[in-house]
Structures are given as structure tokens and as C-alpha cells.
Amino acid sequence: MTNQTSSTHGPSSEAPLIVEMRGIVKKFPGVLANDHVNFELKRGEIHGLLGENGAGKSTLMNVLAGLYRQEAGTILVNGEPKVFSSPRDAINAGIGMVHQHFMLVPSQTVTENILLGLDDPRFFLRLPDYDTKIAELGERFGLKVDPRAKVWQLSVGEQQRVEILKMLYRGVNVLIMDEPTAVLAPQEIEGLFVTLRAMIAQGKSVIFISHKLQEVSVIADRVSVLRRGVATASGIASKGVSRQELARLMVGRDVIFSLDKKPSQPGEVVLDVRDIYAENDKGLPALRGISLNVRAGEIVGVAGVAGNGQSELSQVISGMRECKQGHVTLAGDTVSNRTTLFGIQHGMAYVPEDRTHVGSAPNLSITDNVIMKKYRTAPILKRGLLDMKAATSLANELKQAYDIIVPNVSTPVRLLSGGNLQRVILAREISGLPAFMVAVQPTRGLDVGAIEGVHRLLLAQREAGAAVLLVSEELEELLSLSDRVYVIYEGRIMGEVKVGGGEPDESLIDTIGQMMTGTPLEQIQKEGVAAHD
């Protein structure tokens, strides 16, 4: 992501502790999310908190931010024990958290969002006064954002800056950032790091939650690692520890950083998207002339910062959104603006972004969910009725084949973990032997083991000769799985790059990053040539 070394002006080892968490225990029904965890934060440091999804990082920090109440353990701020019963208490003690899901009111301006819940202004808003105040604060920490802009007009990166400003405006000294880079393009990540360093230079402290090793070793002064609710490392200096060691602390075993991927042998064009236009839910243009194609036996990635038309693109392809102009063909048949059934009957498989509401029917059983595309034909359909025996045995077969871990297939899918639910959806989609599959964020929120499983299934599809369109915000995932990657920005394709096997080189990542922030490929290449001359 970046070549910079970790900050050199880290806190001295005798810097005072600003936060101490001792023996924190937090339980959720059926899960011990934090098991006697100790955590220490020094004044003026960036402290990386590493762990897989579900390791308890966010839980621990939600306790510190006053969102959850711990079952046992104490929190000391500047040496004094504190009890937080709401985020407001934590903020009053100088601790604020920027969540992964931003808590911003889209229809209000930046300033209005920042002033929300404060006692000043008392009654009349007099926004212009506060606009300048907030602009000045932003200036101080390198957080450029127009205070008068409405939040819905802002990019995700800008919204994140508003969230940080919200906390700084409230005078917090400890800022907790929950997976802040997940939604950012590489260049924006650089900007965030600059801001975080500016903050510690001014005496603030930062807790940086992440599951990405590389980032943590770049930005953090010290690192703590959680695994399954237990701290496996507490405040070790990030300079003295290798990536492999950190990975072992996170996962508990050695992680292989590459996938077994055979060279691609692309066949005929299966999916052909020609110059399509579509609107988003608000009736604003979301796709403005997208063309792309996917061949049999290849995985094609769509990279981009969230909200640049990826969702709409996948919906138009799967037939769930009206295509205003242009068309989508699947093996020669036009599928855009047809029913979804038409697409399904012509070999379309769809793994949607929203697993729980679009991808599955939460209250129905695994059996019901896996037969949703098959109930119209034998063996599930028998003399015009559903053959539940056949359905159950199919579900059991899929449960075995796809490693779905549940006691039995009559379990409603809402009770499944994210990884298991995704396997149910993939089982349904793949078992229909699709010619083409569009998968949107198929690994979001899954733990490392589950991600590996999903990746293997996608690669197996590719080897079986299916065409796969993979929409993801995880660049690493796209680069390790795809044969080609399109980059989408504000509803347009900025360019297409080929991805070779092995470790992707820095210049490719840089090119993709530039495209993700709106520079078309031709322009990058032109500038590149100019630079060489």
C-alpha cells in the first residue's frame, strides 16, 4: 500500500498511560467476545489493534467508547477509574470512536452533523459562525472538507473526515478508529495517515483497529493483538516484529499469503455489457455508459470505492434494476430489462451484496433457501407439488459439499454465521451450474477461514469454465483472484488492467488507486510516458 516506514516521532517509552483497560470481560449470547483482556494506551501514540473479524477488537473498543458495558474489569483514564454508561460519558472523558458504519445524517450539512447533540448553540443555529470554526479545526489536522456541504454529497473518505472532526470538535484526546481504511482508496489512506500523524503530533492518541497487517505495521507505534477474545500480544513495538509473527498471533497458525491459481484460459465472451445507463434509488444517474465483458473461464474484477455504481451495475446485470440505455447480453441473449427468472434460466447466478435480505430469506430454513432456484423443475417439483423429501436430501448434500456447519438443514438461515450463510447462498447459486456468476462483496465481514473458502469456490467456478464477475472493495482480494480488473468511478469505467499471477507490483496498485479516485487509464499512461521522457 505504501513504502513509508512507521512514524519516527513515536512516544518515548516513559510516556504516561492515558487509558488502561484491565481484565475486561464482555459476553454476548453464546459468545465470550472479550476474555479478561488488558489494554494500555500511551499518550501521543498510534496503537494498532489487530485481529481477525470476530476476534473481539470492535467489542473491546465499544466498551471503551461507552457503547457496551463490560461484565467485569475496569477502565482507567489518566489513572482514574471510570464507568461509562453511554458514548456521551466516554466523550466527556475524552474518548471518541469513529465507527465503521458512519453515523451521519445524510440530509444535513457537515456543520449540522458536527453540532448534533451539543449544548452550544443553545437555540438559534447561526451556522455561518460554526462553519468557520469547523473549517479552522479541519485545517489544523489536515482534514479538508466543506462545512456547508450536505453529507450525502460527500465521498466516503470525506464522510470519514467529518466523523473525525465530530470527535475532535468535542475535544477528545483519544480517537478510536474502527477499520478506517476499509472504505478508502489507496491515496485516501495516505491522507488519513497524514491526519493521524498530525493528531499525535498535537498530543492526541489514536487506537487504530484493523485486520490488515501491512497497514498496522506502517502506521502504528505499538501493536496489540486479539484472537478469539483473548489478547495474544499487548503493546509490542511495531518495528521489532515481522508480518509473519503478527499473522501467527492473529490466526494462531502460519498463514499462506497466496492462493493456488492456475493460469487462465479464457474462452468465448459470456457476459457482454454494452454502454449501459441506470439510475440509483434517488433517481440520480448511477451508471453512465458502462461497457465490459467477461469470458468463460475467467474472473473479472470490478474495483472502486464504495458507492460509485458497483451495486447498481450488479443489479442491472442480474435484472433487478431498470437499464435506461444500452443492454446486457448473456451468451447472446439480452437479459437487461427482462425478468430475473429469464436471466436465471439463461445461466445467471447472483451473489448479492446484502446477504440477509436479498441473498436469502432469513426466516426460512436452509432447505427452503437452497431450492429457491430449483423448485420449478424436477426432482424438487413432482406432479405440480414440492417434494420436500427430495428438497431435504438436496439440502443435506449441499450441506456436506459446501461445508455448512449446522445441526440440521431445517434451521432458519437467520441463525447462521456470516460465513455459513454465504456458503448456503453460494451452494444455491453454484449448484445450478451457472454459465455466469456475479458476486458482490462475497467476503465482506467473514473471518479469514471463511474468506479462504469463498475464494476457493470462486476459483473452482473459474476452472469449471464459468465466467465470474467479482465486485469488491478489497483490492487485495481482487488482485489475488481476478484475471482482469475494471476500475469504476462515478458510474464510468476508468480503465481495465490485466493482473498476472504472484505478488502484484506497486505500480499496478498505484495505477488502480489513481483510477479509483477518478483518473482515466489513458491519462495515467500519458503522464507516465511524459515522466519517462
Partner 1 sequence: MDFTIILQAGIASGTVLLFATIGELFSERAGVLNLGVEGMMLIGAMSAFSTTIATGNPWLGVLVAMFFAGLISQIHAFIVITLQADQVVSGLSLTFLGAGISLVLGEGLSKAGTVSLLPSFSIPLLTLIPIIGKIFFTNQSVLVYVGYLLVPLAWYYINHTRPGLHLRAVGEYPSAADALGINVFRMRYFYVFIGGMLAGLAGATISLAVSPGWFSELTTGGQGWIAIGLVIFAQWDPIRAAFGAYAFGALRRLILDIQGPLVLFGFNNPFYYNPYLGFFLQMLPYLFTVIVLVIGSREAMRKRIGAPAALGNPYIRGERGK
Q: By CB under 8 A, name the binding residues for partner 1.
A: 67, 86-88, 99, 101, 103-108, 112-113, 115-118, 121-125, 127, 281-283
**Beta bridge pairs of residue 175:** 96, 206
Q: What would the DSSP string read from start to end of 255-279?
A: ---S---PPP---SEEEEEEEEEEE
Residues 6+ apart with CB under 8 A from 45: 10, 11, 15, 200, 205, 206, 221, 222
CB of 44 to partner 1, least distance (A): 27
Q: Looking at residue 383, what DSSP letter applies?
A: T
Comparison of 202 and 356: residue with beta carbon closer to partner 1: 356
How far is the C-alpha of 300 from the C-alpha of 511, rounded, in Å? Answer: 17
Comparison of 66 and 138: residue with beta carbon closer to partner 1: 66
How far is the C-alpha of 296 from the C-alpha of 7, rounded, in Å? Answer: 47
Comparison of 112 and 188: residue with beta carbon closer to partner 1: 112
Counting other chains too, the contacts that 375-380 makes at CB distance below 8 Å and 24 or more residues apart are: none
Comparison of 314 and 511: residue with beta carbon closer to partner 1: 314
How far is the C-alpha of 54 from the C-alpha of 51, rounded, in Å? Answer: 8
How far is the C-alpha of 254 from the C-alpha of 516, rounded, in Å? Answer: 32
CB of 172 to partner 1, least distance (A): 13
CB of 365 to partner 1, least distance (A): 24
CB of 116 to partner 1, least distance (A): 5
Comparison of 114 and 231: residue with beta carbon closer to partner 1: 114
Comparison of 106 and 528: residue with beta carbon closer to partner 1: 106
CB of 59 to partner 1, least distance (A): 12
Burial label for 168, CB within 10 Å (0-12, 13-18, 19+), is buried
3-state secondary structure of 54: coil
Comparison of 107 and 408: residue with beta carbon closer to partner 1: 107
Comparison of 58 and 482: residue with beta carbon closer to partner 1: 58
CB of 38 to partner 1, least distance (A): 26
CB of 263 to partner 1, least distance (A): 41
CB of 30 to partner 1, least distance (A): 17
How far is the C-alpha of 336 from the C-alpha of 160, rounded, in Å? Answer: 35
Comparison of 67 and 236: residue with beta carbon closer to partner 1: 67
- Alpha helix positions (H), 357-505: 366-370, 388-401, 418-430, 448-463, 475-481
CB of 310 to partner 1, least distance (A): 18
- State the number of CA atoms in the 13 A half-sphere of 1 facing the CB: 25
Contact 159, 485 (CB under 8 A): no
How far is the C-alpha of 376 from the C-alpha of 339, rounded, in Å? Answer: 15
